[in-house]
Chains A and B, each alone.
Chain A
Amino acid sequence: MEISTALLLNAIIAGLLLGGFYAAVSVGISISFGMLDVVNIAHPGFIILGSYIAYIVNTHFGVDPIAVSLLLSPLFFLLGMALYRVYYLCFEKRGQESLRGLAFFFGILFITEVALILIFGVDYRTVKTAYADTTLRLGVVDFPLRLVVPFLVSMAMVVGIQLFLTHTFFGRAVLAVAQDQLALRLMGVNPVRIKELAFALSIATAGVAGAFLIVIQPVEPSIGREYIGLVFAVCVLGGMGSIWGTLLGAFVLGLAESFTSTFFGPSWAPAVSFGLLLFALAFRPAGLFGR
């Protein structure tokens, strides 16, 4: 295939837009798994929950789904706090977080999925937005607003989280939890409380990512399972616990998928993406930004 400038530029833009979405769905895992050592396999379930809440409000009141998700993120935050409290009391406190904790989050994922099936049925749901069917064209490059709007909000969210983690006392405490909980205790900080709030933050990002998802594509209750591999791949590629790493990992996978689909054939996209992951880990086992 002849590689034209237009095709190349569009592949780059499509890859970056896709990467922005991948960053949004992965940043929560980067916090919970990368920083807190909580293997929250149910994260995609909360993303789908976010999609359905955005769907309900959008269908009944016509409110933009992304605005809904931002407004309702405190609710997801509270949900995350409650969930971590249960996880801590039942598993982490007893030192049973590894296998039983994993089973717990698997259970949460399936309960979320089944609850959504019982309430909404199994049909695909989508939302109506003012911009979903609009594509801006700058020269030869297309900017579908269906992807651009989630990308912009995602960038704001990821950069905001990074600044929050690096420029506030609470943020530094979260980073410290990942490194040395005993030292944190000696500083007079309760690591459980810090982990609770950080986990809640990760769940809040899932709610927002869910709104992005339903703007980008129709959603059904079990679609979250498809993102389990992706979110952990982005997190591992970027480097455990690094927000910038997560962002870079998301862009790498987004660009790899876009370039492979455009120039070599879309069926190779997963192989190339995960091949890149293996290749990167061979040279940097801690991930691109891992310590």
Chain B
Amino acid sequence: MKLIRAIAAMLGAMLLAAPAAVLAQQPLKIGFGMSLTGPLAGNGKAALIAMEIWRDDVNKKGGILGRKVEFVYYDDQTNPATVPSIYAKLLDVDKVDLVVSGYGTNVIAPAMPIMMQRKFTFMSLFGLNVNSKFKYDRYFQIMPAGPDPAVDWTRGFFEVAMTLNPKPQTVALVGADAEYPHLALEGARAHVKKAGLKIVYDKSYPPKTVDYSPIVRAIQATNPDLVYLASYPPDSAGMVRAANEVGLKARMFGGGLVGTQFAALKTQLGPLLNGMINYEAYAPDVGGKFPSLDQFLAKYQGRAVKEGVDPLGFYLPPYAYAMMQVLEQAIKAVGSLDQGKLAAYMHTYEFDTYVGKVRFAKNGEWAIPRMLTVQYHGISGNELEQWMKPGHVTVLYPNEYKTGSVKAPYHENKK
């Protein structure tokens, strides 16, 4: 009888242990859509490489919770319309364990309803103010825009503008007809109101515009002191070229151009960027304040050159890696994939990443904003090397990263 009991106990223990063992052998699947074609594909591909480097690093160390990490991803074609079906497939067909977002506001926002419906913790990559309407308590965002993203995002440009002497009086606001520019311009309007500036031009343009010079001429006709532009890479290039062709005269020009953070546009536009104000996540001029970034760049840059994407890797790629580090640290600390526990942990604790210490505010944004407002200068020719060393970017804001003061007006500082 004792023997039978012992055999039964052993069999029971084996049966109970079996699912855990099987689970341990199954990969931990992380799903996402990513822009691998379309206007933002260059950025999306660079982010994907960074995430793959993280996956390989983690798997070398044995994975997470004893499971190898595997990515399941689809090309969202930089098209928001594809996003809901991609995430539905990831959750219902591919049965992924976790999801993260693709790159950019335009493709993060359409994923939100399904994330909320399924109660998934949603770590997102460079979405601007996406959670302002959804107010989802399991949303997190890795771009250092700050707790009031739209307002914090444009704060640097207007804080710097109001240091000009005499103070500017008028402003032109212009951006592409897309989610990110709309949200950025919304924040800009808040600063304009607070600073008592007069808006003399406030219009958007279709992202497929070929010639931007009529837009810049229309802006010039209103003679603004400041021109704030929120744009995506193709229109960033078009607007910068048009400003140079038309000879735009303003005391400050720029602010929210996506694209000039990447090597492709930096090298294409070269000296045309001189005098412009824009945002950057990193500049070699303040390299000392980003002590861990070199470790990431050492892994990333060689691979990026081989794969023909952003060889600098200063902007999006380190944050894509950091996004995954946050998730990794949260899972390890919680010890499970419980979505509620993960979100609670991420709200409570600070994370140590390649881009520095990250702590999230209540709405899932960075608790303290850290995007740099910069002015480009001294750029000659189109060589990439000049961007890899200090000397061509003055950090104007935030004050703890400041390396110099703004040179205005824009049209007299184009060298």
Q: Which residues of A contact B (CB under 8 A)?
A: 1-2, 4, 7, 10-11, 14-15, 17-18, 21, 113, 117, 120-124, 126, 128, 133, 135, 142, 144, 146-147, 216-218, 220-223, 226, 257-259, 261-263, 265-267, 269-270
Contact = CB atoms under 8 A, between A and B. Distances in A.
A111 B239 CA distance: 31
B205 A121 contact: no
Nearest to A262: B214
25 contacts: A15-B214, A117-B41, A120-B308, A121-B42, A121-B309, A122-B36, A123-B262, A124-B237, A133-B241, A133-B244, A216-B210, A217-B237, A217-B238, A218-B233, A218-B234, A218-B265, A220-B41, A222-B38, A258-B211, A259-B214, A261-B218, A267-B177, A269-B206, A269-B209, A270-B208
A10 B219 CA distance: 13
Top 10 nearest A-B pairs (CB, nearest first) are A122-B41, A121-B308, A266-B205, A261-B214, A123-B42, A262-B214, A144-B245, A265-B203, A135-B245, A123-B264
Interface in B188-229: 203-206, 208-211, 213-215, 217-218, 221-222
Contacts of A258: 211, 214
B45 interface: yes
Given A123-B310, A218-B268, A147 B205 contact: no
Interface of B: 36-39, 41-42, 44-45, 77, 177, 203-206, 208-211, 213-215, 217-218, 221-222, 233-234, 237-238, 241, 244-247, 262, 264-265, 268, 272, 307-310, 382
A142 B245 contact: yes
Contact of A122 (B208, B214, B309, B382): B309
A220 B42 contact: yes
Given A121-B45, A124-B264, A7 B221 contact: yes
Given A124-B233, A220-B41, A226 B208 contact: yes
B268 A122 contact: no
Nearest to A119: B308
A267 B203 contact: yes
Given A263-B218, A265-B203, A18 B210 contact: yes
Given A113-B37, A146-B245, A266-B215, A261 B221 contact: no
A135 B245 CA distance: 6
B221 A4 contact: yes
